[in-house]
Structure formats: structure tokens, C-alpha cells
Amino acid sequence: MISEYLYLLHPHDILVIISENIIIKNFDELRFAGSGTIRGIHMLLNACDDDFTPRLSTRHDCHHADFNDDTGNMAEFMYSLMREHAMIAFVNGNVAALPAYDDMDDCSYLALILTGHEYRGLKLASRLYDAIESNAFNNTVKLRISSGNETQKAILDKRGYEQYDVHENHRGDGLHTLFYVKHVE
């Protein structure tokens, strides 16, 4: 039996203790995380780089708009990530999963969510979605994904997200960008 405690300290201060081995911490900005955590994030981003289209290491920032521009690099992407709100799931002290999001004019925009390969199946992404949705600005979460990301599409469908737009061939020939929204009650 997993005991779970959710502590809301103020709107963006969230600490979830899922078990003695799994903890989720929130950072108003990732730049306030300690150096060990920053190294862990960098390792996680590199390990999951190929899971994204285009790869994270070719992007300029989290809100990368021009997917034909692949002149970015991981250092530039990491620097942009440092300005985002983020939650970090730690498993046995290791950075295991990470969403980065920002409050926009009308919603919370989820720019990135990823889970390390060895931590998949622990339902970390689901718990991170729960925390983001429960604190969503204007009770709305928006995000975009690659049309080739079947795993993420299934998660979004299961969680009640609705696709509201598509940019065809936005990520390359046959790869579309799908836009999703969820209005949280």
C-alpha cells in the first residue's frame, strides 16, 4: 500500500510524498534547484533526447515554435528550462521525471513532460499531471505533442484532454503538431 501526502504550501509550492522512495518537489523556477538536481535534470534530458521530435538537443527553448530550425543545443534548451515552473519526481534521490510549465494569459501551458526510461511504469507522469491540473491557472491546461507520440496521445485521451488544433507537417514530412486542452473542474 502506497501512502500519499500532498502538501500545498502556496500556489506553486507543491511537495508530494508518494512513499519513502518517491518524492515530487515543485520549483517556481528550476534555477533555484541545487546543483546535484540540475545535474540530474541534465542527465534526464540527455537520456530522453531521442524520445522527442525534434530532439530536445536541437531546440532553442521549451516553447520552440519553428521545428525546421534545428540550430539549438542542449545547453540553450537547459537554460530556457531554468526559467519555467517545474516539478521534479525523485526516486531514491535520483531525478526520475520532470514537467516544465508556465502560466500564460488564459491557462497553464505544459511545455515539457518526460520520465526517465528506467522509471516508466511507476505512474510518475500521471501524478505530475494530477498536480499540474489541480493548480492550473484559470482551470485550464494546454500542451502540444508530436503526432508520432502514441504513448502521450493515449495518456491525454485517458485524462480527458481534447485535441483542438493540428499543424500539419510542422515537425517534418508526415509529422504533425497536435494541440490539446483540458478544462479542469
Average pLDDT for the chain: 81
Rounded Cα distance, 13 and 24, in Å: 11
- Phi, psi (degrees; rounded to nearest 5) at 183: -95, 115
pTM: 0.81
pLDDT at residue 130 tops 60: yes
Cell, residue 46 = 540527455
Q: For residues 2 and 85, give the distance between their C-alpha atoms in angstroms, rounded to a whole number.
A: 27
> CB of 24 within 8 A of CB of 128?
yes
Helices (H) and strands (E) in the chain, counts: 4, 9
The mean pLDDT value for 116-130 works out to: 91
Architecture of 5-183 per CATH? 3-Layer(aba) Sandwich (3.40)
Task: Determine which of 30-39, 122-131, 149-158 has the lowest per-residue pLDDT on average.
Answer: 30-39
- Non-local (6+) Cβ contacts of 42 within 8 A are 74, 78
Cα–Cα distance for residue pair 88/25, rounded to 1 Å: 5
Banded model confidence at residue 154, pLDDT cuts 50, 70, 90: very high
Torsion of CA 140, 174, 78, 179, to 10 degrees: -10
Segment among 29-38, 67-76, 132-141 with least mean pLDDT: 29-38
Residue 2: pLDDT band (50, 70, 90) is very low
Q: Where are the domains of the chain?
A: 5-183
Q: Is the pLDDT of residue 9 over 70?
A: no
pLDDT of residue 56: 87
